Amino acid sequence: MRIASLDHLVLTVADIHATVEFYERLGMQGETFGDGRRALRFGEQKINLHQAGSEFEPYALRPVPGSADLCFLVEGSLDDVAQVLADANVPIELGPVERLGAVGSIESLYVRDPDGNLVELARPH
């Protein structure tokens, strides 16, 4: 067996509506699927959302809002990203800083989503 790529991941959140609104401001698309489940789509990936206390089976052993560190690659300059964040009233916690991503050097800004998850927005060098 060889793992080829990431299809989706699941975030357990305190407020699905607030989470969808936040990530839509970052350019993702909220979607409804199945029996009213919610997800965030970007590129060829998605993030499925579980409401804390009402997770869909099966789920992580100890699901809790605010326990994730996520890194998303962005297009354009980090100045453009910073402007989008400012327009959306999303404070930058750290950055720009140099980091090492999965395939090489990246320059990153860090913000927090409504649950306190650390969200890294990165541009490859």
* Annotation marks residue 120 as catalytic: yes
Report the alpha-carbon distance of residue 113 to residue 106 in Å, rounded.
21
Report the alpha-carbon distance of residue 99 to residue 19 in Å, rounded.
26
Q: 24, 55, 93, 120: which one is catalytic?
A: 120
Length of the chain: 125
Half-sphere exposure of 77 (CA within 13 A, CB side): 3
Q: What Rg do the C-alpha atoms of the chain give, in angstroms?
A: 15
Residues with active-site annotation:
120
